[in-house]
Amino acid sequence: MTNISALPPLLRKRRPAEPLAGYITPKLRELVARLSHINDFGFLTMAWSTHALQTGRKDSIRKGIFRYPKEAASDSILNGHSVQAWEIETLANLLLTTPKTPGFAWEPTMDTRDFETIRVLTNLLRSAEDDETPLRINNENIIDELHRIGHRQFPWQRTWVRSGELYKYLYIYCQGVCADYFKERYGLDIIDYVSAAFVLFTQHVGRTWMPLLDTQEKLPVSLEAIHKTTKLLSSSTWTAHREAAALVKKFEAEASAPIPIAYQPSYLRLKPIICYDRAETTLYTSPLPDLILLRVTAGLFYDLASGKNPVISDANTRFEEYSRKIIKAFIPEFDPLPAEKYRYKKNPVETPDILLKLHGKIVSVMECKATKLTYAAQYGENPREDASDGYDQIVKAIFQLWRYFAHVRQGILKHNLADDVTGVILTLDSWTQMGGKLRDKLVAEAKVYSVNKDSSITEADMRTPVFCPIQELDDILSVSDADQILATFRRMTDIDSFSWNVRQKRDDIGPRLPAKPYPFDPGELMPLWAITNRGRWSDQPIKDSGKHGL
């Protein structure tokens, strides 16, 4: 009689799973070997529970699902039990890109119901990352690593659960041509899509696993919209394994060097919900629920990118409008004017996108760039070469600032500039974050480009540009007056400031003012937000008819 618990003979001898990409080190091999023996359902349950434990949601962990020491129920990074969200994301991505060892179901595995397992895996991950360091970092390029670390960690530290982030992307991506294209392509109103995702977020924050939401209770969004949104945002475990591996292979093939573990593209950024067939039902989980909100704010770009020029141009225009609105709303003394059209050598030309006036003088000019921050731009070993199209746009933006200063100096434009006027590259995403050497390189390229494009531009016109993402501008506007904003911009042009962010340099100017509330209400664009703010349904998970949720 055959013992069904025994490993089949053909599977008793097999090679251990190998890392799919990156720098192959002993610790990475050990980590991958352990992940290859772990059941997906158990790992995803453990990942969700760990994140809940360390984000104030321990009461959402059902009794018996996950054991943990009481010290682990803390968001402190100093208590010895900390597992950062970006580490959970990296581990989940490694799980999805690691093939299962044949016969893993018959072998003893790590206990995913115990915090000790995630602790061991996290320490292995940290050791594997440390082992990579001497293989790729040296005294010449160590500073370049700062911007990669920033892109991995800063967004998690800021969080995407912010009304300002929601309003910004609703304004930019959820109106006009963008909204029309989304409905035509997906058969779903884009506001309903974001609203349904918000409903899903509130459910996944409080539940490890849940069936497809199906209830007779009145919902603020139709079930049809919720089901379509679930389909767009989710993937089965089998599909996730296949597509996550393909994603990593694609980017490693395009990269100029192996991709370190920490920076491998994350499949959860595309599909933040994973479904798993179990018994007679399909269950859904979002191990990091915040990624649902990322996917339907900044991540809306991926749903719209196939619309190409008409759609992207519409988003660019709305980004310029939003930037002017937010400046005026936070600091009414400013007068942010739109670009002016004029002619130069019989050709149509435009000024930079925002002409910022104060007391009758232009005190800063801003060129807005809504260009999407690509994976290669964030994590490439040679970002300038690996993401050349995006950085070419930054070089052109610097040129446009300098051309404007030159044309005012020559009297082609009759504008009254302040003596210390600054030029700002205002980006929708965090281009050049913490990238001092990269910024130096872009400015040097812009000088060559400018000489070739317009010989009337002189060294005096080539004012050092300020690199500022819109989220950082939002932040400093809320705690500053007009003079402090301008002083921050001027400080950013100092030679020793090129590697720093605007928020950090704002603190050099002086104490922050009491924070002003965000001036816009997402409920103006998404009715669900108004309901949420009144607390009608967001405090408690919606009851569904399924009996299989965890």
Q: How many percent of the chain have pLDDT more than 70?
A: 87
- C-alpha to C-alpha distance for 522 and 532, rounded to whole angstroms: 11
Q: How does 145-157 read in b/e, with b if 16+ C-beta sit within 10 Å?
A: eebbebbbebbbe
Taking only the tens place, the pLDDT of each residue in 242-259 is 999 999 998 888 777 788
- C-alpha to C-alpha distance for 108 and 38, rounded to whole angstroms: 9
* The residue count for the chain: 550
Q: In this structure, are residues 125 and 90 in contact, taking their beta carbons and an 8 Å threshold?
A: yes
Q: Read off the pLDDT of each residue in 442-458 and give the average, rounded to a whole number.
A: 93
Q: How does 211-245 read in b/e, with b if 16+ C-beta sit within 10 Å?
A: bbbeeeeebbbeeebbebbbebbbbebeebbebbb
pLDDT of residue 390: 81
Ranges 246-250, 335-339, 399-403, 534-538: which has the least confidence = 534-538
pLDDT of residue 385: 67
- C-alpha to C-alpha distance for 237 and 179, rounded to whole angstroms: 31
Query: Is residue 22 pLDDT above 60, yes or no?
Result: yes
Q: Read off the pLDDT of each residue in 478-503 and give the average, rounded to a whole number.
A: 89
The dihedral through the CA atoms of 309, 312, 318, 322 has a sign that is negative
Cα–chain center distance at 24: 27
Q: Read off the pLDDT of each residue in 55-76 and give the average, rounded to a whole number.
A: 90
| Closest-CA residue to 212 (of 233, 186, 188, 195) | 233
- C-alpha to C-alpha distance for 207 and 60, rounded to whole angstroms: 7
Q: In this structure, are residues 18 and 29 in contact, taking their beta carbons and an 8 Å threshold?
A: yes
Taking only the tens place, the pLDDT of each residue in 313-347 is 999 999 999 999 999 999 999 999 999 999 988 89
- C-alpha to C-alpha distance for 195 and 166, rounded to whole angstroms: 11
* Structure-model confidence comparison of residues 251 and 232, the more confident one: 232
Query: Is residue 407 pLDDT above 70, yes or no?
Result: yes
Taking only the tens place, the pLDDT of each residue in 272-327 is 999 998 878 899 999 999 999 999 999 999 899 888 889 999 999 999 999 999 99
Torsion of CA 163, 167, 170, 173, to 10 degrees: -110
pLDDT of residue 377: 64
Phi then psi for 66, rounded to 5 degrees?
A: -150, 125
DSSP H or E segment with residue 441 = helix 436-453
pLDDT of residue 539: 34
Domain boundaries, the chain: 17-134, 309-520
Torsion of CA 325, 330, 332, 337, to 10 degrees: -30
Query: Is residue 362 pLDDT above 80, yes or no?
Result: yes
DSSP H or E segment with residue 532 = helix 527-533
Query: Is residue 538 pLDDT above 70, yes or no?
Result: no
